[in-house]
């Protein structure tokens, strides 16, 4: 049996980024390194680089998230980027959306343990919760799917004039270029590639931003959204 990798001490940048929530960030890192590995939520080889590659890489997403918004973290997995974002931004309300039970169980435990009162865990797929969850200002995602497929799940969850922020790697520009047609059909009106985390992470975190107009998801999802809303109202009346 391979000995578990040891979690390195938190870098100085983590103290600056997480501020008053630094202790909770350390506890989250410990949970990922222990229970996260034991439950198969992250690979043991990720433990030595948890801070730089995962926690800080996700926390700097806060640089491009507007103040006071609602956020849905699609395919949240072990809570990345949703939980690091929640630790640095108590002004926003975050829903961690994840279909697998073992992951939502872990997420619920983490949220309760860290006292993240502005975070809600929901088990389900994005296509299943559309119309059941209130539309949000921002959808976030990391390592979930190629951009064109991710957009079909995330964009319909947005409010009019909302935005999807997807953490991507070196292929961001290429993915965005190949997804242009799909994004347009989904109601995207503006796209861009941003680099965040100056002085915190190296290389910088790459974020694909997709801004939508008045009809998130486009014509394809308008009928689905309306039907889901009607069904929800009928159930509430009962």
What are the pLDDT digits (tens) for 75-98? 999 999 999 999 999 999 999 999
The pLDDT score that the predictor gives to residue 231 is: 59
Mean pLDDT of the chain: 92
Asked if 176 contacts 147 with a C-beta cutoff of 8 angstroms, the reply is yes
- Dist CA 125 CA 107 (whole Å): 15
Asked if 156 contacts 189 with a C-beta cutoff of 8 angstroms, the reply is no
CA-closest candidate to residue 65, choices 147, 135, 138, 159? 138
Note the residue count of the chain.
238
The pLDDT score that the predictor gives to residue 229 is: 60
DSSP 182-223: HHHHTTEEEEEEEEE-TTTSSSPEEEEEEEE-SSTTHHHHHH
- Dist CA 42 CA 53 (whole Å): 12
The pLDDT score that the predictor gives to residue 143 is: 82
The pLDDT score that the predictor gives to residue 3 is: 47
pLDDT (tens digit, 0 to 9) for every residue of the chain, 238 residues total? 344 578 999 999 999 999 999 999 999 999 999 999 999 999 999 999 999 999 999 999 999 999 999 999 999 999 999 999 999 999 999 999 999 999 999 999 999 999 999 999 999 999 999 889 999 999 999 988 899 999 999 999 999 999 999 999 999 999 999 999 999 999 999 999 999 999 999 999 999 999 999 999 886 676 666 666 665 555 555 5
- pLDDT tens digit string along 171-187? 999 999 999 999 999 99
CA-closest candidate to residue 130, choices 232, 235, 238, 233? 232
Asked if 155 contacts 139 with a C-beta cutoff of 8 angstroms, the reply is yes
- Dist CA 187 CA 214 (whole Å): 8
Maximum distance among all alpha carbons in the chain? 56
């Amino acid at each position: 049996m391979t000995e578990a990798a040891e979690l390195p001490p938190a870098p100085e940048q983590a103290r600056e980024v997480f501020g008053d929530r630094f202790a909770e960030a350390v506890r989250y890192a410990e949970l990922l390194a222990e229970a996260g590995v034991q439950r198969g939520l992250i690979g043991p080889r990720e433990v030595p680089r948890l801070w730089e590659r995962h926690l800080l890489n996700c926390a700097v997403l806060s640089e491009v998230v507007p103040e006071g918004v609602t956020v849905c973290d699609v395919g949240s997995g072990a809570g990345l980027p949703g939980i690091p974002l929640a630790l640095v931004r108590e002004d926003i309300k975050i829903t961690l959306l994840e279909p697998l039970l073992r992951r939502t169980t872990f997420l619920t435990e983490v949220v309760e343990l860290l006292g993240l009162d502005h975070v809600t865990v929901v088990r389900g797929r994005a296509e299943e919760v559309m119309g059941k969850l209130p539309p949000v200002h921002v959808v976030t995602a990391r390592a979930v799917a190629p951009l064109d497929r991710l957009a079909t799940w995330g964009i319909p969850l947005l409010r009019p004039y909302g935005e999807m922020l997807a953490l991507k790697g070196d292929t961001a520009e290429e993915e965005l270029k190949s997804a242009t047609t799909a994004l347009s059909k989904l109601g995207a009106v503006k796209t861009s590639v941003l680099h965040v985390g100056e002085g915190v992470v190296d290389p910088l975190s790459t974020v694909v931003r997709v801004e939508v107009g008045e009809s998130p998801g486009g014509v394809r999802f308008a009928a689905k959204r309306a039907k889901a809303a009607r069904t929800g109202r009928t159930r509430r009346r009962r």
